[in-house]
Chains A and B, each alone.
Chain A
Protein backbone atom coordinates (compact mmCIF):
# COMPACT_ATOMS: atom_id res chain seq x y z
CA UNK A 1 0.00 0.00 0.00
CA UNK A 2 1.25 3.50 -0.77
CA UNK A 3 2.00 5.69 2.23
CA UNK A 4 -0.97 7.93 1.55
CA UNK A 5 -3.41 7.30 -1.26
CA UNK A 6 -6.31 9.30 -2.65
CA UNK A 7 -8.58 8.77 -5.63
CA UNK A 8 -7.43 11.53 -8.01
CA UNK A 9 -10.92 11.97 -9.46
CA UNK A 10 -12.23 14.16 -10.87
CA UNK A 11 -15.49 13.83 -9.02
CA UNK A 12 -18.15 15.65 -11.05
CA UNK A 13 -21.06 16.35 -8.74
CA UNK A 14 -24.22 18.43 -9.28
CA UNK A 15 -24.68 21.43 -7.08
CA UNK A 16 -26.58 20.58 -3.91
CA UNK A 17 -25.49 16.94 -3.85
CA UNK A 18 -23.50 15.23 -1.14
CA UNK A 19 -20.04 13.96 -1.98
CA UNK A 20 -17.51 11.99 0.03
CA UNK A 21 -13.99 10.85 -0.57
CA UNK A 22 -11.41 8.94 1.37
CA UNK A 23 -7.71 8.95 2.03
CA UNK A 24 -5.96 5.75 3.05
CA UNK A 25 -2.66 5.63 4.91
CA UNK A 26 -0.19 2.85 5.58
CA UNK A 27 1.54 3.93 8.79
CA UNK A 28 -0.62 2.64 11.62
CA UNK A 29 1.34 4.82 14.04
CA UNK A 30 0.16 8.00 12.36
CA UNK A 31 -0.88 10.54 14.92
CA UNK A 32 -2.88 13.32 13.36
CA UNK A 33 -4.60 14.08 10.12
CA UNK A 34 -5.73 17.11 8.19
CA UNK A 35 -7.68 17.96 5.08
CA UNK A 36 -6.37 20.77 2.91
CA UNK A 37 -8.07 22.49 0.03
CA UNK A 38 -6.16 23.75 -2.98
CA UNK A 39 -7.68 26.02 -5.59
CA UNK A 40 -6.24 26.17 -9.08
CA UNK A 41 -2.88 27.95 -9.13
CA UNK A 42 -3.04 28.66 -5.40
CA UNK A 43 -1.37 27.23 -2.33
CA UNK A 44 -3.01 24.52 -0.21
CA UNK A 45 -4.97 25.89 2.73
CA UNK A 46 -6.09 24.11 5.85
CA UNK A 47 -9.70 23.01 5.62
CA UNK A 48 -10.07 21.05 8.82
CA UNK A 49 -8.36 18.77 11.26
CA UNK A 50 -9.53 15.20 11.64
CA UNK A 51 -10.14 14.03 15.19
CA UNK A 52 -10.62 10.50 16.41
CA UNK A 53 -14.20 11.29 17.35
CA UNK A 54 -14.87 12.90 13.98
CA UNK A 55 -15.60 16.55 13.54
CA UNK A 56 -18.02 18.73 11.69
CA UNK A 57 -17.70 22.26 10.40
CA UNK A 58 -20.83 23.46 8.71
CA UNK A 59 -21.37 21.39 5.59
CA UNK A 60 -18.10 19.53 6.05
CA UNK A 61 -17.60 16.38 8.12
CA UNK A 62 -14.29 14.63 8.64
CA UNK A 63 -13.99 11.13 10.03
CA UNK A 64 -11.09 8.90 11.05
CA UNK A 65 -11.22 5.12 10.87
CA UNK A 66 -8.08 3.84 12.58
CA UNK A 67 -8.97 0.18 12.19
CA UNK A 68 -9.14 0.46 8.40
CA UNK A 69 -6.56 3.26 8.26
CA UNK A 70 -8.42 5.88 6.34
CA UNK A 71 -9.86 9.33 6.80
CA UNK A 72 -12.88 10.68 4.98
CA UNK A 73 -14.30 14.03 4.03
CA UNK A 74 -18.01 14.51 3.41
CA UNK A 75 -19.43 17.64 1.87
CA UNK A 76 -23.18 18.20 2.10
CA UNK A 77 -25.26 20.57 -0.02
CA UNK A 78 -22.27 21.17 -2.28
CA UNK A 79 -21.71 24.66 -3.71
CA UNK A 80 -19.99 25.73 -6.89
CA UNK A 81 -17.31 27.29 -4.71
CA UNK A 82 -16.43 23.85 -3.31
CA UNK A 83 -14.74 23.01 -6.62
CA UNK A 84 -11.10 22.46 -5.74
CA UNK A 85 -8.56 19.76 -5.06
CA UNK A 86 -8.71 18.23 -1.59
CA UNK A 87 -5.48 16.88 -0.11
CA UNK A 88 -5.10 14.78 2.99
CA UNK A 89 -2.09 15.09 5.25
CA UNK A 90 -0.90 12.35 7.58
CA UNK A 91 1.32 13.31 10.50
CA UNK A 92 3.40 10.51 12.05
CA UNK A 93 3.68 9.95 15.78
CA UNK A 94 7.45 10.01 15.59
CA UNK A 95 8.71 13.49 14.83
CA UNK A 96 11.52 12.19 12.65
CA UNK A 97 9.13 10.25 10.42
CA UNK A 98 8.03 11.87 7.21
CA UNK A 99 4.85 13.93 6.95
CA UNK A 100 3.00 12.76 3.89
CA UNK A 101 0.61 14.66 1.63
CA UNK A 102 -1.80 12.80 -0.58
CA UNK A 103 -1.81 13.78 -4.25
CA UNK A 104 -5.32 15.11 -3.89
CA UNK A 105 -8.82 14.48 -5.15
CA UNK A 106 -10.22 16.91 -7.71
CA UNK A 107 -13.82 17.94 -7.17
CA UNK A 108 -15.92 19.72 -9.78
CA UNK A 109 -19.33 20.98 -8.71
CA UNK A 110 -21.60 21.27 -11.72
CA UNK A 111 -24.31 23.96 -11.96
Chain B
Protein backbone atom coordinates (compact mmCIF):
# COMPACT_ATOMS: atom_id res chain seq x y z
CA UNK B 1 0.00 0.00 0.00
CA UNK B 2 1.33 3.45 -0.89
CA UNK B 3 -0.05 4.96 2.27
CA UNK B 4 -1.99 8.23 2.39
CA UNK B 5 -1.18 10.37 -0.62
CA UNK B 6 -1.52 14.12 -0.53
CA UNK B 7 -1.01 16.66 -3.24
CA UNK B 8 0.48 19.10 -3.79
CA UNK B 9 3.42 18.85 -1.37
CA UNK B 10 3.93 22.59 -1.47
CA UNK B 11 1.64 25.39 -2.54
CA UNK B 12 2.42 29.08 -2.68
CA UNK B 13 -0.46 31.30 -3.64
CA UNK B 14 -1.53 34.90 -3.48
CA UNK B 15 -4.11 36.13 -1.04
CA UNK B 16 -7.60 35.85 -2.47
CA UNK B 17 -6.88 32.86 -4.66
CA UNK B 18 -8.64 29.53 -4.35
CA UNK B 19 -6.59 26.65 -3.03
CA UNK B 20 -7.53 22.97 -3.34
CA UNK B 21 -5.72 20.28 -1.39
CA UNK B 22 -6.15 16.63 -2.29
CA UNK B 23 -5.96 13.38 -0.39
CA UNK B 24 -6.14 9.71 -1.25
CA UNK B 25 -6.60 7.61 1.92
CA UNK B 26 -5.52 4.05 2.51
CA UNK B 27 -7.88 1.62 0.90
CA UNK B 28 -10.20 0.03 3.45
CA UNK B 29 -9.80 2.70 6.11
CA UNK B 30 -13.22 3.96 7.15
CA UNK B 31 -12.32 7.40 8.42
CA UNK B 32 -10.50 10.36 6.93
CA UNK B 33 -9.31 13.39 8.81
CA UNK B 34 -8.05 16.80 7.75
CA UNK B 35 -5.68 18.52 10.17
CA UNK B 36 -3.88 21.84 10.11
CA UNK B 37 -0.60 22.31 11.98
CA UNK B 38 1.11 25.54 12.99
CA UNK B 39 3.81 26.22 15.53
CA UNK B 40 1.46 28.24 17.69
CA UNK B 41 -1.56 25.93 17.73
CA UNK B 42 -0.18 22.48 17.06
CA UNK B 43 -2.34 19.95 15.24
CA UNK B 44 -5.90 21.17 14.85
CA UNK B 45 -8.65 18.91 13.59
CA UNK B 46 -10.58 20.64 10.81
CA UNK B 47 -13.05 17.97 9.73
CA UNK B 48 -13.42 14.24 9.58
CA UNK B 49 -15.44 11.78 7.56
CA UNK B 50 -16.71 8.31 8.41
CA UNK B 51 -17.58 6.22 5.38
CA UNK B 52 -17.43 9.36 3.20
CA UNK B 53 -19.94 11.23 5.39
CA UNK B 54 -18.79 14.41 7.20
CA UNK B 55 -19.18 13.78 10.93
CA UNK B 56 -17.62 16.76 12.64
CA UNK B 57 -16.69 19.99 10.87
CA UNK B 58 -16.62 22.14 14.00
CA UNK B 59 -12.92 22.72 13.50
CA UNK B 60 -13.34 24.34 10.11
CA UNK B 61 -12.30 27.94 10.79
CA UNK B 62 -14.92 29.69 8.72
CA UNK B 63 -17.00 29.52 5.59
CA UNK B 64 -13.95 30.00 3.41
CA UNK B 65 -13.04 26.38 4.15
CA UNK B 66 -14.93 23.46 2.66
CA UNK B 67 -14.20 19.75 2.38
CA UNK B 68 -15.68 16.97 0.32
CA UNK B 69 -15.29 13.24 0.08
CA UNK B 70 -17.14 12.14 -3.04
CA UNK B 71 -15.96 8.53 -2.71
CA UNK B 72 -13.91 6.30 -0.43
CA UNK B 73 -10.68 6.98 -2.26
CA UNK B 74 -10.60 10.75 -2.57
CA UNK B 75 -11.10 13.89 -0.54
CA UNK B 76 -10.50 17.59 -1.10
CA UNK B 77 -10.07 20.56 1.19
CA UNK B 78 -10.75 23.89 -0.45
CA UNK B 79 -9.99 27.39 0.78
CA UNK B 80 -11.67 30.21 -1.08
CA UNK B 81 -10.56 32.97 -0.81
CA UNK B 82 -7.24 32.19 0.84
CA UNK B 83 -5.66 34.53 3.39
CA UNK B 84 -2.10 34.79 4.78
CA UNK B 85 -3.27 33.40 8.15
CA UNK B 86 -4.19 30.16 6.39
CA UNK B 87 -0.49 29.45 5.91
CA UNK B 88 0.21 26.13 7.62
CA UNK B 89 0.88 22.49 6.95
CA UNK B 90 -2.31 20.62 6.13
CA UNK B 91 -2.31 16.91 6.87
CA UNK B 92 -4.74 14.31 5.74
CA UNK B 93 -4.90 11.10 7.77
CA UNK B 94 -6.85 7.92 7.36
CA UNK B 95 -7.87 5.98 10.41
CA UNK B 96 -8.99 2.48 11.20
CA UNK B 97 -9.91 1.32 14.70
CA UNK B 98 -7.23 -0.98 15.99
CA UNK B 99 -4.60 0.47 13.67
CA UNK B 100 -4.63 4.17 14.52
CA UNK B 101 -3.83 7.01 12.18
CA UNK B 102 -1.70 7.02 9.09
CA UNK B 103 -0.80 10.49 7.95
CA UNK B 104 0.02 11.76 4.52
CA UNK B 105 3.17 13.78 4.00
CA UNK B 106 1.21 17.00 4.23
CA UNK B 107 0.76 20.07 2.05
CA UNK B 108 2.79 23.09 3.08
CA UNK B 109 0.64 26.07 2.17
CA UNK B 110 1.99 29.59 2.01
CA UNK B 111 -0.40 32.43 1.24
CA UNK B 112 1.36 35.68 0.44
Q: Which residues of A contact B (CB under 8 A)?
A: 34, 36, 42-46, 49, 87, 89, 91, 95-96, 98-99, 101-104
Question: Looking at chain B's contact residues, is the secondary structure mostly helix, strand, loop, or mixed?
Answer: strand
Identify the interface centre among A44, A46, A87, A91: most chain B CB within 10 Å of its CB. Answer: A44
Residues of A within 8 A of B41 (CB): 103
Give Cα distance in the complex from A44 to B42, angstroms.
Answer: 12
Q: Which residues of B contact A (CB under 8 A)?
A: 33, 35, 41-43, 45, 48, 50, 55-56, 91, 95, 97, 100-106
Q: Which residue of B lies closest to A103 (CB)?
A: B42
A98 contacts B42, C-beta separation under 8 Å: no
Partner of B43, one of A49, A95, A98, A103: A103
Residues of A within 8 A of B33 (CB): 99
